[in-house]
Amino acid sequence: MSEFFHSVTLDAEKCRGCTNCLRRCPTQAIRVRDGKARILSEKCLDCGECIRVCPYHAKKAVFDSMDRMQEFDYTIALPAPTLYGQFNNLRNVDYVLTGLLQLGFDKVYEVSKSAEIISETTRRLMETGNLARPVISSACPAVVRLIRVRFPNLCHLVLPLVSPMHAAAKAAKVEAAAQTGLPLQRIGAFFITPCPAKVTDIRSPVGPDQSWVDGAFAISDIYPRLLEKMNRVEIPEPVADSGALGVSWASSGGESTALLREKYLAADGIENVIAVLENLDTEQVGELEFIELNACSGGCVGGVLTVANPFVAKARLHRLRNHLPPASIHPESNAASMRWENPLEYTRVMQLSDNLTEAMTMMQEIDRLCALLPGLDCGSCGAPTCRTHAEDIVKGNALLNDCLFILREQAEAAGINLSGLYHRTPEETEKPL
C-alpha cells in the first residue's frame, strides 16, 4: 500500500473540527467526521495547505528524526537550495555546508548542483527528445500528484525526469561508495526538506521505481542546531559546488530561468497552479515551451517546513546569487539515468463507479440531493461543499441529515420545535437563565 503513504497527518487530539482545513484543501480531500478532520488518502497531494491554515496545529508533517543517521556507516546531507535562503546575510554557501558537516554528516552534496544538471538535461531533451509541448516541470511532487488525479489530458506533458533531490542522492551515494568502498546500503542520504510533499516523494515516488534518498529532515527542525554550528564556523571548508542557476530553483521562476529559454510560464500557489492547468487543458495559453508550477506560493521558499518568510528568503537568495558562479562545471550528464521508469498515469480518484450506468445513476442522485441542500457550502455537515456532501451520501459515506438545515427541517416536521434555540436575540441568549 505504499501508494497511499502520506507525510501530512492529523493529530486527532488537537483537532477541534473547525473546518478551516476542509475549505482550503485543493482536492476536497478532507472531511470532518465525529468532530475530527479526516484526510481521504487517495485524494491528498501532501501539499501542506491544511498544515498552513490549521489554527490548532493539528495537521502535521511526518519527517525523520536526526537519530536515523545512526543507522548508517556513512551519511550524506542533501540540502535543498531553499535552505540557503533561511539565513540572514549569507554570502558564502560554505558556512551552511560546513555547519551540516559539523552536525555529523560525512559529506554534503548540494541539490542545487543536481538542479543544474537536470536543467541542462532538460534543455538537451527539449532540443532533441521529441518532448510534447509545453513541457510541464516535474520538480514539485504536489503538482505532479495534482495532475495525476485531475488532469488526464496533461499527464503526457510532464517532464519524465527525476527531480534534483533524487538525482543528487544517486550521484552522491555512487560517489561515496567509490570513495569509501562501502556498500550502498551502508550509506545514508538525507534530504533537508522544505515540505511534506518531498517526504512523500521519497517514500512513495510517482515516476521513478524507487528513491535513492533514505530519509528527510525538515528545514525547520534542523535550523536551530545548524545555526548554532554555523555561528561557530570560523573558516568554512570549501565544499560548495553549484552556481546561481541551481540555487535559483528555490523560488518560482528559477527553474525556467535555468533553462535559458524564453517562452515559459511560471506559476506558484496551488490555486494559481490549478487555474493555469485548467487553461492549459482547454488550450488557452498560447504558444509556450515550458511551464514551471510550484504548489507553494513563491516556490519552495514558501514550503511549510521552512522558517523564513518566503519573500524575505527570495530576496536573500537573489543577493546570494551575486556571490556565486553562474553554474557549476560538471561532466556531460546522462539523460537516460535520470529518466522516470514509469510514465505518469491518470489515477481515477474522482470517478464515481467503474460501471457507466451505475455512475450515471449516482450522478442523477447527486443532482437530486443538491437541489434539496441549501447550497451554502457552510461545511457544517463535514464536507467542504453541498455538492461533495451529496456525493458522500450517494457513496454511502454520509447521511442527508448531517446537514444541519435538513436536520432542522426534519425536526420541525416531526413536531420538535427548535425555533426557541435559534431565533433568540443575542441579548436573550446572554441573559443568565
Partner 1 sequence: MTPTISNCFEVSGEDFSRAGEASGKIKTILKQLGYDKDAIRRVAIAMYEAEINMVIHAGGGKAMVDIHPDRVDIVMADQGPGIPDVEKAMEEGFTTAPDRIRDLGFGAGMGLPNIKKYADSLSIETQVNVGTTLYITVRATQQYI
CB of 239: closest distance to ligand SF4 in angstroms?
A: 24
Work out the burial of residue 239: count CB atoms within 10 Å of its CB; fewer than 13 is exposed, 13-18 middle, 19 or more buried: middle
The CA-atom distances, in angstroms, between 317 and each of 94, 126, 186, 264 are 14, 28, 34, 21
Choice between 260 and 359, CB closer to partner 1: 359
Instruction: Choose among ligand SF4, partner 1, none what residue 241 binds, the Cβ cut-off being 5 to 8 Å by kind.
Output: none
Q: Which residue has the cell 487517495?
A: 42
Q: Is 367 in the site for partner 1 (CB under 8 A)?
A: yes
Instruction: Choose among partner 1, ligand SF4, none what residue 303 binds, the Cβ cut-off being 5 to 8 Å by kind.
Output: ligand SF4
Q: Is 296 in the site for ligand SF4 (CB under 6 A)?
A: yes
All cell numbers assigned to 432: 443568565
Instruction: Choose among ligand SF4, partner 1, none what residue 348 binds, the Cβ cut-off being 5 to 8 Å by kind.
Output: partner 1
Q: Is 27 in the site for ligand SF4 (CB under 6 A)?
A: yes
Could you give the string, one character per residue 113-142, with x where binding to ligand SF4 holds by CB under 6 A and - elsewhere?
---------------------------xxx
**Run of H or E including 409:** helix 404-413
Neighbours of 396 (CB within 10 A): 7
By CB under 8 A, name the one of 57, 133, 323, 348 that touches partner 1.
348
By CB under 8 A, name the one of 18, 101, 288, 350 that touches partner 1.
350
By CB under 6 A, name the one of 22, 47, 247, 280 that touches ligand SF4.
47
By CB under 8 A, name the one of 329, 356, 414, 416 that touches partner 1.
356
Residue type at 360? M
CB 341 within 8 A of CB 259: no
Smallest Cα–Cα separation from 105: which of 96, 114, 116?
96
Q: Is 278 in the site for partner 1 (CB under 8 A)?
A: yes
CB of 252: closest distance to ligand SF4 in angstroms?
A: 8
For the chain, the residue count is 433
Point out which span in 228-236, 241-249, 362-370, 422-430 binds partner 1 (CB under 8 A): 362-370
Point out which span in 27-35, 111-119, 168-176, 284-292 binds ligand SF4 (CB under 6 A): 27-35
For residue 341, give every residue at least 6 positions away whose Cβ sits within 8 Å of its Cβ, in sequence order, or none.
207, 208, 209
CB of 33: closest distance to partner 1 in angstroms?
A: 22
Distance between CA atoms of 148 and 291, rounded to whole angstroms?
A: 16
Choice between 62 and 335, CB closer to ligand SF4: 62
| Strand-strand pairing, 74-79 and 187-193 | parallel
Distance between CA atoms of 109 and 192, rounded to whole angstroms?
A: 11
Distance between CA atoms of 254 and 260, rounded to whole angstroms?
A: 10
Instruction: Choose among ligand SF4, partner 1, none what residue 294 binds, the Cβ cut-off being 5 to 8 Å by kind.
Output: ligand SF4
Work out the burial of residue 155: count CB atoms within 10 Å of its CB; fewer than 13 is exposed, 13-18 middle, 19 or more buried: middle
> Which positions from 127 through 156 interact with partner 1, judged by CB under 8 A?
150, 152-153
CB of 175: closest distance to partner 1 in angstroms?
A: 42
Distance between CA atoms of 103 and 271, rounded to whole angstroms?
A: 38
By CB under 6 A, name the one of 96, 100, 192, 197 that touches ligand SF4.
197
Instruction: Choose among partner 1, ligand SF4, none what residue 360 binds, the Cβ cut-off being 5 to 8 Å by kind.
Output: partner 1
By CB under 6 A, name the one of 15, 25, 126, 280 that touches ligand SF4.
25
Residue 428: DSSP 8-state: H
Q: For the CA atoms of the chain, what is the radius of gyration?
A: 25
Instruction: Choose among partner 1, ligand SF4, none what residue 421 binds, the Cβ cut-off being 5 to 8 Å by kind.
Output: none
Work out the burial of residue 392: count CB atoms within 10 Å of its CB; fewer than 13 is exposed, 13-18 middle, 19 or more buried: buried
**Run of H or E including 77:** strand 74-79
Q: Which residues bind ligand SF4 (CB under 6 A)?
A: 8, 25-27, 29-30, 39, 44-50, 140-142, 194-195, 197-198, 294-296, 299-300, 303
Q: Which residues bind partner 1 (CB under 8 A)?
A: 150, 152-153, 278, 281-284, 286, 346, 348, 350-354, 356-357, 359-361, 363-364, 367
